[in-house]
């Protein structure tokens, strides 16, 4: 059980050297969790910007802190969660005991939480209010790459869960860099209404620029949800902001930390 007086939370994000918005959701979720007073301390660190993962090794010097919960704010397990984060934070396994006596507990990525399908559905409803789901196709967009199958697997998994609910006419997982491609959405869909939700942590270059361009949204209309619906070749296209910007992600991060104690961990660390 998490103790508000002896536990700390470290949220790990990817960050970006070219896009300052990349770290914004992680920082916002951290601020919200800090406001709730669940942990004695809450801090954020990043791989590609300051404060760095290495900086985080110097955090939590207060001797009253005995447990540090480390939650990666990533969509899925992959190279960063399995190799980079454990290496940079000097984690030896799911639970690492420091010389100070602290136990650093490595939790599952936020995006692997069981509530992701719920949040994706909520975001789809918010971006296309009043649109009949039975007459609509939902696209869950992942990055997709031959270098990391987990990127595609996470979007596929969520699309499968939502598809099983039989609420939308069709639910497809599509990708930027591997088939089925988001750029082929006109060929892949049959309904007049199409809702697109990027399965990303932040509104970075991919969700702000790359995916809208692949969908055929004109540059002057790329303002998040403000331009909806976009009329393209007789279709009404509703485009959402990245799922990781949802305020409920703060609750997901808290629950991932709490689940370490109730369910245990199977996080694969670097050898």
Q: Please spell the DSSP secondary structure of 5-28, one letter per residue.
A: TTEEEEEEE---SS-GGGGHHHHH
Determine the pLDDT at residue 270.
38
Determine the pLDDT at residue 25.
95
Number of domains in the chain: 2
Residue 106 counted as domain residue: yes
Please give the Cα distance from 129 to 229 (Å, whole number).
11
Same domain for 172 and 64, yes or no, is no
- The residue segments making up the domain with residue 29 are 7-111+248-263
Residue 157's beta-bridge partner residues? none
CATH label of the domain that carries residue 222: 3.40.50.1400
Same domain for 128 and 233, yes or no, is yes
- Nearest CA among 246, 227, 224, 244 for reference residue 236: 227
pLDDT tier for residue 221 given thresholds of 50, 70 and 90: low
What are the distances in angstroms from CA 261 to CA 113, 206, 241, 255, 269? 15, 35, 32, 10, 18
Residue 192 counted as domain residue: yes
- DSSP-assigned letters across all residues of 90-126: T--SSEEE-TTS-EEEEPPPGGGSTTHHHHHHHHHHH
Same domain for 145 and 188, yes or no, is yes
- Read off the pLDDT of each residue in 5-33 and give the average, rounded to a whole number: 92
Give the contacts of 186 (CB within 8 A, at least 6 positions apart).
216, 232, 233, 235
Same domain for 134 and 238, yes or no, is yes
pLDDT exceeds 60 at position 222: no
Determine the pLDDT at residue 265.
47
Residue 16 counted as domain residue: yes
Residue 143 counted as domain residue: yes
Determine the pLDDT at residue 271.
33
Same domain for 66 and 103, yes or no, is yes
- Read off the pLDDT of each residue in 111-124 and give the average, rounded to a whole number: 95
- CA dihedral in degrees (124, 126, 129, 133; nearest 10)? 20
| Model-wide pTM > 0.75 | yes
Give buried/exposed letters for 223-240 (b at 16+ CB in 10 A, else e): ebeebbbbeeeebbbbbb
Residue 218 counted as domain residue: yes
Tracing tokens 């991932």 back to the chain, one arrives at 256
**Pairing outcome for strands 103-106 and 95-97:** antiparallel
Q: Which of 31-35, 141-145, 177-181 has the lowest mean pLDDT?
A: 141-145
pLDDT in tens, 123-176: 999 999 999 999 999 999 998 875 665 778 999 999 999 999 999 999 999 999
Determine the pLDDT at residue 223.
55
More confident residue, 58 or 269: 58
What are the distances in angstroms from CA 96 to CA 33, 45, 87, 110? 23, 18, 12, 20
pLDDT exceeds 50 at position 212: yes
- Read off the pLDDT of each residue in 78-96 and give the average, rounded to a whole number: 95
Residue 198's beta-bridge partner residues? 141
């Amino acid at each position: 059980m998490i103790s508000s007086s002896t536990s700390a939370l470290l949220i790990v994000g990817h960050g970006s050297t070219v896009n300052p918005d990349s770290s914004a959701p992680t920082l916002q979720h951290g601020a919200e969790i800090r406001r709730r007073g669940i942990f004695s301390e809450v801090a954020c660190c990043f791989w590609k910007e300051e404060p760095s993962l290495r900086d985080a090794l110097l955090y939590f010097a207060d001797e009253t802190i005995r447990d540090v919960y480390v939650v990666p704010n990533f969509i899925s397990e992959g190279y960063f969660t399995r190799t980079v984060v454990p290496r940079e934070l000097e984690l030896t396994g799911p639970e690492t005991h420091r010389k100070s006596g602290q136990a650093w507990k490595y939790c599952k990525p936020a995006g692997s939480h069981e509530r992701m399908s719920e949040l994706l559905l909520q975001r789809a409803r918010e971006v296309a209010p009043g649109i009949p789901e039975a007459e609509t196709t939902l696209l869950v967009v992942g990055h997709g790459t031959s270098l990391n199958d987990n990127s595609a697997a996470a979007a596929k998994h969520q699309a499968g869960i939502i598809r099983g609910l039989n609420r939308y006419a069709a639910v497809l997982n599509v990708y930027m860099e591997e088939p089925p491609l988001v750029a082929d959405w006109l060929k892949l869909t049959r309904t007049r209404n199409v809702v697109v939700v990027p399965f990303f942590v932040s509104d970075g270059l991919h969700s702000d620029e790359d995916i809208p361009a692949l969908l055929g949204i004109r540059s002057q209309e790329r303002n998040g949800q403000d331009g909806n619906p976009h009329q393209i070749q007789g279709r009404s296209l509703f485009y959402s902001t990245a799922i990781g910007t949802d305020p409920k992600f703060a609750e997901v991060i808290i629950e991932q930390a709490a689940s370490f104690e109730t369910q245990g961990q199977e996080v694969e660390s670097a050898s």
